[in-house]
Amino acid sequence: MKRKIPKLKRIVVKIGSSSLCHENGQIDPKRIETIVNEVSYLFKIGIQVVLVSSGAVAAGKHLLNESGTSIENKQAAAAIGQPVLLGTFQQFFKNHDLTIAQVLLTHDDLHNRARYLSARNTLDNLLDHKIIPIVNENDTVSTEEIQFSDNDFLGALCTNLVNADLFIILSNIDGIGKQDPMVNPDTDIYNTLSIEEVEQLKKVFPKNILNQLSRGGIFTKLEAPIMAAQYGVPTIIANSHSESILKRIINNENIGTLILPIESKLNSKKAFIAHALKPKAKLIIDSGAADAIQVKKASLLPSGIIKTEGSFSRGDGVVCLLPDGQEIARGIVEYDQDEINLILGKQSSEIEFILGFKHHRGIIHRDNMVIIKEK
């Protein structure tokens, strides 16, 4: 029985370093040519593709006369490897009369709302002109991303950026198994998983078991689909080495693991708050405020705030926690930290008297808030 995936107009395909390189880290042109042929086929039948490609660090590492594993060496390797990687893609897409565009992003680009929207507009414009965007993290200047993600999270974020219908993660595993496929290659592979089942599997697999090429590991193969699912986008994780893998996926063949989306997806703004906006600080709230947020879907008022932790300004992202550390929500604050410290625990009617002014949307308005833990 074939799976049922939505009608596809636009998809995000993420391919990892281990799927593009030889074991020694050098780019494998045959592997890239295979991917290019498949992506080109999708474009020819009317499916737009955003290709999120790892491999820059791996491609440049063997050309760098330095064997260290410091962040600086990885950044240098990325600077060397990025043109090698893109040049190889360009060479093969040219055979299909298709043009590519390089889009380099960092987490900072995506947690700033204006830059986030700018990236969205750029990607939309490229796709509308039948140009294939090849997205990669800007490893030359990024710091924390280069250490762990292998672009799994970036691919998931891109599904929201471009309003994708499907997220495909091509890796060196056949899908999500009952055990880690990298440890036990013979493990049974799940055909379909719900988000609840994925959350349970996260407790089984240790975080970030890496190999010499991949920086994500099995854990991010579980985290990234959860992110996409909250955007309402299904994810399929499959082996890039399987013959005609993309064609088989869009034909609903039972290959790899399908992770189902949640029914009530986050809108674009709330998806941005939940995943792209990097929280700068914490608001510790009481149980009454937590109930109001979780049950009544209310805004956060100053009376429910116990204390602030960290430094932030109006418009920054923060997380709302109970005193025991349990995360309730995250959102965008309407006041600076110094202002909140003056009015926390007070009634809303007292704000103007204390500060000399008052915003009429609470500390975090419900339109600028995402509930992390439902009640």
Other C-beta atoms within 10 Å of 94: how many?
12
Beginning with the edge strand found earlier in the chain, give each strand of the sheet holding 317-321 in spatial order.
305-309, 281-285, 317-321, 327-332, 369-371
Domains of the chain: 10-270 (3.40.1160.10), 279-371 (2.30.130.10)
pLDDT digits (tens, 9 = 90+) for 187-210: 888 999 998 898 888 777 765 444
The residues pairing with 131 across neighbouring beta strands, listed in sequence order, are 99
Q: How far apart are CA 363 and CA 125, in angstroms?
A: 36
Band the pLDDT of 212: cuts 50, 70, 90. Answer: very low
359 — phi, psi (to 5°)? -85, 140
pLDDT digits (tens, 9 = 90+) for 97-147: 999 999 988 777 777 777 888 888 999 999 999 999 999 887 555 555 544
Examine the pLDDT at 216 and tell me if it is beyond 90.
no
* CA separation, residue 170 to residues 2, 32, 45, 71, 255 (Å): 20, 12, 20, 26, 12
CA nearest 85: which of 51, 106, 50, 60?
Answer: 60
Tokens encoding 44: 């020819």
Examine the pLDDT at 148 and tell me if it is beyond 50.
no
pLDDT digits (tens, 9 = 90+) for 302-336: 999 999 999 999 988 999 999 999 999 999 999 99
pLDDT digits (tens, 9 = 90+) for 30-70: 999 999 999 999 999 999 999 999 878 777 777 776 666 67
E strand segments, the chain:
10-15, 48-53, 99-105, 131-137, 166-171, 192-193, 235-239, 257-259, 281-285, 305-309, 317-321, 327-332, 369-371
Residue type, 312: F
Tokens encoding 98: 């298709």
Q: How far apart are CA 273 and CA 107, in angstroms?
A: 13
